[in-house]
Amino acid sequence: MTLWPPLNLQDSRAFVELLRFVPWVVFLELPYYLLVALGLIRYVMHKVHVPHKMPTGRPKVSCVITCYSEGEDVKKTIKSLAFQLYDGEIEIIPVIDGAVRNRDTYRAALEMEEMVKSLPGRTLRVLPKWQRGGRVSSLNAGLNAAEGAVVMALDGDTSFDNDMVLKAVRHFADPNVAALAGCLRVRNWRASPVAALQGLEYLLSILTAKTGLSQFNTVNNISGAFGVFRREILELVLGWDSGSAEDLDLTMRIKNYFGRNPGMRIVFDPEVMGHTDVPDTLRGFLKQRLRWDGDLFYIYVRKHLKSFSPSLMGWRNFLVTLVGGFYFQIITPLMLLVYTCFSFLTLSLGKVLYVFLWIYLFYLGVTVFFYLAAMLCLTERPRDDIRFLPLIPIFPAFTFMCRLWSAFAILWEIAAQGHRDSSMAPWWVLRRGKF
């Protein structure tokens, strides 16, 4: 005898009615958005009542710049670091990966030596790697050459506000701060509609979301293009590990010490600003996200599944990484893909449009809320950011498209281990990795 009658899957109407409620899994993301919103409120209140104090110490800062094919653009990065409003020492180390093939980048970096030498407290040490070994090998080579107590890992095509170093270093006066995730803006957002949509995405997902998460010490990732680290922490985790998605991998390995050191922190400061270029074509954007989103599965499931433990990460980061990382970035895209396919196969076009209208309105509400939060509380460039306003009505569709493409990237990683095809390192380097 059974308490419940078996579900007859041949009854298509009952099955369709069941599927109609599947979109509500999207609303399970609400606790994550609520956490970010509460963090934003906390940030604003803290900023009003407890303003930042500049520490008296000026530790030496080593800026490791990973370069591959930037050419003349690497000069912009070096200049933006050399002219920082920081009266301590700044050591600039451009690491030229595959310098034999990338002679233009190597030559451009060398041409900056005289200019940097003329500035007090600034040194430039160009480090060529004649054979290409990938981004991780460049970072570790730069770390071995660095002498600073604070080490910055930066991309060769990224420039920075002139108070970036000063505002970043102030956080390391707190001995519990292990690392700082820098804020990034899209420098070429005017290049195309695709770049403009990414500009709005960076405003919401980096400036706004990470500000909120930082208030609860749950920053999800230290960007590979702009990360700042206490040198002792990098030495503790033995630097960067081989493979792709080295930024998320390093973040997870640092967080593995949080459970044993409850005071340890990764912070995010919206005032520590960098500017980067993004793909300005749809093809380039999809290619980049195929690698990024596939790497999420690679890191969370293949490499760091055992890291999902309160004893390693602490309860707070365990729960936020589980929801905001594993569920939000892995499970939700796959569920949306399955639901989209079932909807078009089993529902009439009118019902499909009705259901997806609710999904659109949900994401539109989230977009409007966090955009207003950024404009009212965070942005230091309101005249630039107000130009994203016309993009808000189409941004939910862009987000939904990104989720479906993310599902494809995850499936590609599951089926073919797509991370081994990454452009971040030669194939012979990636295939030697354990994972």
Amino acid at 239: G
Say if residue 53's pLDDT is above 90.
no
SS3 of 417, please? coil
> Is residue 19 over pLDDT 60?
no
Instruction: Measure Cα distances from 384 to 187, 275, 313 in Å.
Output: 11, 13, 38
Q: What was the pLDDT predicted at 250? A: 95
Asked whether the predicted pLDDT for residue 71 surpasses 70, the reply is yes
Taking the CA of residue 357 as centre, how many other CA atoms within 13 Å lie in the half-sphere pointing to its CB? 6
Provide CB contacts within 8 A for 363, sequence distance 6+. Answer: 395, 396, 399, 400
The percent of residues above 90 in pLDDT, for the chain, comes to: 66
In the chain, what are the domains?
15-37+314-422 (no CATH), 51-281 (3.90.550.10)
Do 167 and 269 contact (CB within 8 A), yes or no? yes
pLDDT at res. 1: 42
**For the stretch 181-214, what's the b/e string if a residue is b when 16 or more beta carbons lie within 10 angstroms of its beta carbon?**
bbbbbbbbbebbebbbbbbbbbbbebbbbbbbbb
Q: What's residue 429's pLDDT?
A: 63
Secondary structure class of 185 (helix, strand, coil):
strand
Rounded to whole angstroms, the Cα distance separating 415 from 425 reads: 21
Cα–Cα distance measured from residue 35 to residue 47, given in angstroms and rounded to the nearest whole number: 18
Mean pLDDT within 26-54? 81
The model's pTM: 0.89
Mean per-residue pLDDT over the chain, rounded? 88
Query: Is residue 199 predicted with pLDDT exceeding 90?
Result: yes
User: Which comes out higher in pLDDT, residue 3 or 125?
Assistant: 125
Looking at the predicted structure, is the pLDDT value of residue 16 above 60?
no
Return the HEC string of 27-71.
HHHHHHHHHHHHHHHHHHHHHHHCCCCCCCCCCCEEEEEEECCCH
Round to whole Å and give the CA distance between 157 and 182.
15
- Asked if pLDDT for residue 52 goes beyond 90, the answer is no
Nearest to 155 by CA among 241, 69, 32: 69
Q: Using CA atoms, how far apart are residues 102 and 93, in angstroms rounded to an integer?
A: 16
Predicted confidence band of residue 77 (pLDDT cuts 50, 70, 90): very high
pLDDT digit string, tens, across residues 367-385: 999 999 999 999 999 999 9
Q: State the pLDDT at residue 268.
A: 96
What CA–CA distance (Å, rounded) separates 126 from 160? Answer: 19
- In this prediction, residue 234 has a pLDDT band, given cuts at 50, 70 and 90, of very high
Q: For residue 2, is pLDDT > 80?
A: no
Q: Tell me: the pLDDT tens digits for 264-312?
A: 999 999 999 999 999 999 999 999 999 999 999 999 998 899 999 999 9
Give the least confident one: 37-51, 135-149, 227-241. Answer: 37-51
State whether residue 215 is helix, strand or coil.
Answer: coil
Decide if 109 contacts 102 (C-beta within 8 A).
no
Q: What average pLDDT does this structure show over 46-67? A: 81
Q: What distances in angstroms separate CA 421 from CA 288, 417, 425, one per listed residue? A: 12, 8, 9
Q: Provide the pLDDT for residue 25.
A: 58
Q: What is the pLDDT of residue 14?
A: 46
pLDDT tens-place string over residues 334-375? 988 888 888 888 878 887 888 788 888 888 999 999 999 999
Please tell me the predicted confidence (pLDDT) of residue 174: 92
Say what the pLDDT of residue 353 is.
84
